[in-house]
Amino acid sequence: MAKLMYFAQLAETLGRTAEEAALPAAVVSVETLIAWLARREGAGWKSLADGKGLTVMVNRQPATMETAVTQNDEIAFIPERQ
């Protein structure tokens, strides 16, 4: 399972700081992961939809939308300061 971590106001909006999730086979990159998360119920998840204003780290390394993700990764979502 992938470990997903949420920081700052994103954690507050989602009501959680972390979770473990079994990623569907179609989730192969940061972009597809964000799209999958954005389809979850609740307005907080929809705020992820475009990935703007968001820094993503995969295994503690800066990631782009094209960065690959797997079931064994640790993925952090860090909103940019506003």
79: CB partners within 8 A, 6+ apart: 7, 8, 9, 10, 53, 54, 55
Order across the sheet with 74-79: list the strands. Answer: 18-21, 2-6, 74-79, 54-58, 61-62
CATH number of the CATH domain containing 44: 3.10.20.30
pLDDT the model gives residue 41:
85
pLDDT the model gives residue 82:
58
From the number of C-beta atoms within 10 Å of its C-beta (0-12, 13-18, 19+), residue 82 rates as: exposed
pLDDT the model gives residue 61:
98
pLDDT the model gives residue 17:
96
**Domain of residue 74, residue span:** 2-79
Domain count, the chain: 1
pLDDT the model gives residue 28:
98
Q: How many Å is the Cα radius of gyration of the chain?
A: 11
One digit per residue, the tens of pLDDT, for the chain of length 82 reads 999 999 998 999 899 999 999 999 999 999 999 999 999 988 788 877 767 789 999 999 999 999 999 999 999 999 987 5
